Amino acid sequence: MNAASRLTTPFHSHTSAAEVIDGVDLTGRRAVVTGGASGIGAETVRALALAGAEVTVATRRPEAAESLAAEIAAVRGAGSVRAEALDLGDLTSVDAFAQAWEGPLDILVANAGIMALPTREVGPGGWELQLATNYLGHFALTTALHTALRAAGSARVVLVGSGAHRNVPFDFDDPQFEGRPYDPWVAYGQSKTAMVLFAVGADRWAADGIAVNALNPGYILTNLQRHLDDDTMRAFGVMDDEGNLTPLPYYKTPAQGAATSVLLAASPLVKGVTGRYFEDNQEARVVEIDDEGPGGVARHALDRHAAERLWAYAADAVRR
DSSP 112-166: ------SS--B-TTSSBHHHIIIIIHHHHHHHHTHHHHHHHSSEEEEEE--GGGG
250, 8 in Cβ contact below 8 A?
Answer: no
Tally of residues, the chain = 320
**Rounded distance between C-alpha atoms, residue 140 and residue 55, angstroms:** 20
Helix (H) or strand (E) run with residue 54 in it:
strand 54-59
Taking each helix axis from N to C end, the angle separating 259-266 and 39-50, rounded to the nearest 10 degrees, works out to: 40
Burial 141-158 (b: 16+ CB within 10 A, else e): bbbbbbebbbebeebbbb
Candidates 188, 219, 251, 277; catalytic one: 188
Q: Are strands 81-85 and 54-59 parallel, antiparallel or unpaired?
A: parallel
d(CA 278, CA 18): 18
Known catalytic residue at 135: no
Residues forming the active site:
188
